[in-house]
Amino acid sequence: MRIALIGYGKMGKTIERIAIERGHTISAIIDVHNKEDIKNLNGSMADVAIEFSQPESAFLNISHCLENNLPIVSGTTGWLKKKPVLDEICRQNNGSFFYASNYSIGVNIFFHLNKILAGLMKKFPDYAVSMEEIHHTEKKDAPSGTAITLAEGLMSQNSAKTKWVNEASENDDELEIISKRIDDVPGTHTVFYNSPIDTIEIKHTAHSREGFAQGAVMAAEWTAKNRGVFGMNDLLKIS
């Protein structure tokens, strides 16, 4: 399979290595140094594109691929208010668009576990729920896309929380997310349930970018063969 990489930072390079190990070829690389070359990228040059760029460029990158018959997998976070527009562009062009805030299989199991626990804990208001996410200092958006997905999953099961905030909060209807940036941390996410007598927590700790990159390549393999708008639940069938 021919893969075009859009974004060639640490994640892009890891995806490249894993894709080649799985027998694929890299047919194009678009990065900040040649970003104008995306205008020439289309479905005749690659079977699928994998996009890990920056929030400010993701929308144009993805829409270009969808309008030029190139299935695309994206993991860029920090721009998701525009995603419904891209979903519609995909449908209008009979395209293929796969998005996930996190491609790690372990994280997606964690998403599912988070929703189950939230459904149980809503019956016990003595437990105050909060979240923490830690990433490397190069990550520009906060909270992380993974933390937002966790927050949305939790709120879907607990109507007492109506919104998340990226700061400490004492408001009962707000879900507090604390973001920390520390050198060389691939990603750690924790959901806490604190009461006066004990604490329950669930936590996912990534040890490297390998899990994210492998999941993105698996998603690309799947997306190249399917048409529509997809996410990790379509690929993994876990919820």
**Annotated catalytic sites, by residue?**
135, 139
Compute the half-sphere exposure of residue 33: CA atoms within 13 Å on the CB side of its CA. Answer: 3
Q: Which SS3 state, helix, strand or coil, does residue 132 take?
A: strand
In the 8-state DSSP scheme, what is residue 166? S
User: Which of 183, 166, 184, 186 is CA-nearest to residue 175?
Assistant: 166
Cβ–Cβ < 8 Å for 74, 99: yes
User: Which of 3, 195, 207, 235 is CA-nearest to residue 109?
Assistant: 235
User: What is the DSSP code string of 81-101?
Assistant: GGHHHHHHHHHHTT-EEEE-S
d(CA 73, CA 228) in angstroms, rounded, equals: 12
User: Which of 181, 187, 1 is CA-nearest to residue 103?
Assistant: 187
